[in-house]
A and B are shown apart, each in its own frame.
Chain A
Amino acid sequence: MSGFRINSSLLLKDGKCFQSYGWNMYRPLGSLQTAVNLLEEYNIDEISIICPVRTQQDKADIFSNLTALRNLRTMTPIGFGGGVRTIKDIDLLKKLPIERLMFSSTFIGMDDEFIAEVINRYGRQAIQAILPFKTGPQGISVYYSAENRFLPLTKKLLNFCDEFANEIVFYDTQHEGYIDQFDVTAIKNIQIDNQKILITGGIGHQSILQAKKLNFAAAIIDNRILHKEYSVEAWR
């Protein structure tokens, strides 16, 4: 319903930003404030800060990231996700400078009671479902971190996301950190209004052109944008 957005993701771990490749390798990028400042300077449309939660240890660590978020000074819209699964977790996010909340396990586990409570507190416009996916002979499957395994992407799950989320982020886990590798063919026929779809994982200039052509809402460039943040304006 609005112009195509070019967003960026930042992975936050132990209060610092990291670059990630292929879902499991990390390389330090520096402080959150520095990374956000660089992106803001080039008018990035939104920044999604994600705490990667792939183990129970990661879940315990996300709360050390909240201090970095609390101290963040920015006038760019911020989304936050990773490890937020209970009302107690939500309470910890009060007064943080974030506009969007991104949930993965909550949606994949179809926890409607929890989502309804989050909508009461933040409004549906603030909710993004994030679906980390991979493709294989069986079709598309999504990573359910609460059980540390991939599950098939079903029509029921898509309908659930469509009902409760303002937007849906498709996160290509097989191509994260690489250029122009996002698997558009995997999702281009999904039965969701394209204006609700954001893509991330392997985004490059060609992926952005494809996403615009398909009338998607946005592309979230992987955190490696920090090596060429000046390209945002040209890609717009």
Chain B
Amino acid sequence: MSVDIIDLGSGNIRSIHNALLNLNVSTNFVKKPHEIQANTVILAGVGAAGPYMKKLIAADFKNALRDHVAAGKTIIGICLGFQILSNATEENGGVEGLGIINGRCERLNHNDKLFSHNGWEKLDLDKANLLNVDFRNEENLSRKQKIKGRVFYNHEYGMVLNQPQPLHYDMSIPTLDKYTAFYAEKNVLGIQFHPEKSQFTGQALFAMVL
């Protein structure tokens, strides 16, 4: 199996490559839309939304990624890559997203106090729920049906869905429970935490969704 990772010359994509290597999944770093070959594309991101989106547009990925999804192929957005799938984010004074997920990203806040969310939270995921929203993985790398573990977050902005979706998990701490931690629908998967840096749980998640 092979997965394409969008490479905009910034952010940390090496960790995703390493995590997938552990599962014997080969990866291609893709710098131009015509280089996309795999059914599954990962849009990872460590960075600020404004400069990241500018690079995405400059490299002609904006329409290419929308077309990829429209063709029924899989996209996995991780952290900033997940946020960019939304309609817009308020980071950097407001940035338009790809509009693949009907939501917006806000600076994390609760009762007008701004927060950062750094650390580990529980993840409890049942594969049956993914199948219920028609999220199908190509290779079935794992027969594991349930994942219970902990995952690593490091973000200052969070996704707020404009309407409830069949499968989305909100963050597990009360002050951040309006933000989405995990989203799946058909061929679109959005993950706010970092599976590539979530030790055994992250590896199990990749095996389940790829």
A residues with a Cβ closer than 8 A to B are 1-3, 5, 40, 43, 45, 70, 73-78, 94-100, 119-126, 166-167, 195-196, 217-218
Contacts and interface: CB of A to CB of B under 8 A. Distances in A.
B26 interface: no
Given A75-B19, A75-B196, A121 B121 contact: no
A77 B196 CA distance: 9
Nearest to B122: A3
Contact of B14 (A40, A96, A196): A96
Contact of B119 (A3, A75, A76, A95): A3
7 contacts: A2-B173, A5-B119, A73-B21, A94-B9, A95-B14, A123-B80, A125-B118
B12 A75 contact: no
Nearest to B12: A99
B119 A45 contact: yes
Contacts of A125: 116, 118, 154-156
Contact of B11 (A70, A122, A217): A122
B200 to A, nearest CB: 8
A77 B176 CA distance: 22
B51 A121 contact: yes
A199 to B, nearest CB: 15
Contacts of A218: 119
Contacts of B154: 77, 99-100, 125-126, 166
Contacts of A196: 116
B121 to A, nearest CB: 7
Contacts of A2: 117-121, 153, 173
Interface string B1-32: 00000000111111100110110000000000
Contacts of B50: 120
Interface of B: 9-15, 18-19, 21-22, 46-48, 50-51, 80, 108, 115-121, 152-156, 173, 175-176, 194, 196-200, 202-203
Nearest to A45: B120
Contacts of B18: 73-75, 97
Contacts of B22: 73, 75
B118 A124 contact: no
A100 B196 CA distance: 14
Contacts of A126: 46, 154
Contacts of B119: 1-3, 5, 45, 217-218
Given A100-B154, A122-B46, 7 more contacts: A1-B173, A75-B196, A98-B12, A120-B50, A122-B48, A123-B47, A217-B119
A95 to B, nearest CB: 5
Nearest to B15: A97
B175 A1 contact: yes
**Which 3 residue pairs spanning A and B have beta carbons closest together?**
A2-B119, A97-B15, A1-B115
Contacts of B116: 1, 125, 166-167, 195-196
Contacts of A40: 199
Given A75-B199, A125-B155, A99 B194 contact: yes
A77 B197 contact: yes
